[in-house]
Amino acid sequence: MSYSPSSKLDYEKVNKHIVSWLKNKILSAGKKGGVFGLSGGLDSTVTAALLKQAFPKSSLGVILPCESSEEDIEDAYLAADNIGLKVKEVELDGVFQDLLSRLKEAEPGDEKLAEANIKPRLRMTALYYIAARRDALVVGTGNWSELTTGYFTKYGDSGVDIAPLGRLAKTEVRELGRYLDVPDKILGRKPSAGLWEGQTDESELGLSYEKLDKYILTGNADDEVQEKVEELKESNRHKLKFPPAPDREDLI
């Protein structure tokens, strides 16, 4: 039987708590609502459903295609329609290609990940502009599995004000999605950051979310999984800290 850590949670309680938490965090910041990137994936769709409950009139999903597949865009609109969420679309293909060409003039060559990471950083810039115009916070869609392993783009999809899914493992987010009646098409999608065609989270991580989440939630896993997760955590530790600066005492 496959491992199912999600069965330990009461998803009605989880839903109510996160909705209340969103209201508290956004209102205590003096803001009117939340803005987030709607990719058509599971995490952003669950975030959309929660934020819509918290701020029915002032939540906005922003679809930010950047050389994205048509399926991604279609699923983003599917999610919005299912939830009754207001959305805007800002196409970033031209901005991305223009910036990339200028960067390659300054630093010639090809490096797949360096190029791909421009996309989430452009999306972050767009979200903060729109959030500022709407007097809103930027709401992140990252989950605990991603935050634990550092599987995100620094100053890209991690560039947010609050992270409502930040203590739910990926498998738990999927169960919360079922509770929230997320469309089956989105529940069944292979998790992907959409960095390039055919890219998936699990191929990049080198292990499945099921194995990763079992280790995160219970501390139990075979040696190979433990070694891989700890390696990821160590190599990406810098992503979870503020940039280091010299100690003041050493300057005096």
Measured at the alpha carbon of residue 205, what is the angle toward residues 204 and 207, in degrees to the nearest 5?
120
Measured at the alpha carbon of residue 135, what is the angle toward residues 132 and 136, in degrees to the nearest 5?
90
Distance of CA 202 to CAs 46, 205, 207, Å?
20, 5, 6
Average pLDDT over residues 16-31: 97
Q: What is the pLDDT of residues 151-183, one digit of tens each?
A: 899 999 999 999 999 999 999 999 999 999 999
Q: What is the pLDDT of residues 109-139, one digit of tens each?
A: 888 889 999 999 999 999 999 999 999 999 9
Asked whether 165 and 47 are in contact (CB, 8 A), the reply is yes
How far is 250 from 117, CA to CA, in rounded Å? 35
How far is 39 from 79, CA to CA, in rounded Å? 9
- Tokens (6 digits) for 223: 């040696």
Task: Determine how many CB atoms are found less than 10 A away from the CB of residue 67.
Answer: 15
Total-model pTM: 0.87
**Residue 156 has what pLDDT?**
95
- Tokens (6 digits) for 140: 């992140």
- Name all domains of the chain by residue range, CATH numbers in brackets: 5-240 (3.40.50.620)
Q: Lowest-confidence range among 1-5, 42-46, 210-214?
A: 1-5
Asked whether 35 and 136 are in contact (CB, 8 A), the reply is yes
pLDDT band at 2 (very low <50, low <70, confident <90, very high): very low
How far is 43 from 182, CA to CA, in rounded Å? 10
Task: Determine how many CB atoms are found less than 10 A away from the CB of residue 186.
Answer: 20
Residue 194's identity, in one-letter code, is G
Q: Which residues contact 237 (CB under 8 A, 6 or more apart)?
A: 150
Measured at the alpha carbon of residue 243, what is the angle toward residues 241 and 246, in degrees to the nearest 5?
120
Q: What is the pLDDT of residues 194-234, one digit of tens each?
A: 665 666 767 777 778 888 888 889 888 888 888 888 888 88
